[in-house]
Amino acid sequence: MSPKKAKKRADGASSNVFSMFEQAQIQEFKEAFTIMDQNRDGFIDKNDLRDTFAALGRLNVKQEELDDMLKEAPGPINFTVFLTMFGEKLKGADPEETILNAFKVFDPEGKGTLKKDFVTEMLTTQADRFSPEEMEQMFAAFPPDVAGNLDYKNLVYVITHGEEKDQE
């Protein structure tokens, strides 16, 4: 079967997944998928995952970890499967928890902070890139501490609740 036919069948298999998201969200997922599909074959495989982790600075990813991620999919991960997997993960998800989990990927020690320089690089070079003005506004609203660390837990709280959490 040609890749085109395989894609058509896969798209039709669960086309209702596209109704779960707004068009802008689907476009963002498509950008993320394209970034992760390092070899541009239309599928995310183990090598794509390893390369994606490497691009994010994480070089020693265990085979088992990659295998476990791939096992979450019902088969080869094309864009429709990718979208369906996110739809299932996000169904009923708390936006605060979802955003926190995105930050935690970059904070393996679980400190609750990220270096300002790292945050700036990620937000200005990946997917929906922030402009220098947007970065300035963010750091004006959420200034890093003297060591240059951004308290992302507080940032996420304000994003999802609209006001600063009382510091204990």
pLDDT tens-digit readout, 29-46: 999 999 999 899 999 999
At what angle are helices 3-13 and 79-90 packed, to 10 degrees?
20
pLDDT for 57 equals 83
68-127 confidence digits (pLDDT tens): 999 999 999 999 999 988 888 777 667 788 888 888 888 878 889 999 998 898 889 877
pLDDT for 163 equals 66
- Residue 56: is its pLDDT beyond 50? yes
pLDDT for 129 equals 85
- Please state, in angstroms and rounded to a whole number, the distance separating the CA atoms of residues 84 and 20: 9
pTM score: 0.51
Which pair of structure tokens corresponds to residue 17?
């997944």
Q: Which of 150, 146, 71, 67 is nearest to 106 (CA)?
A: 150
Length of the chain: 168
Of 8-12, 57-61, 67-71, 116-120, where does mean pLDDT reach its minimum?
Answer: 8-12
Q: Which of 54, 24, 59, 26 is nearest to 38 (CA)?
A: 54
* DSSP H stretches of helix in 14-162: 23-36, 46-55, 63-71, 79-90, 95-104, 116-125, 132-141, 152-161
pLDDT for 147 equals 93
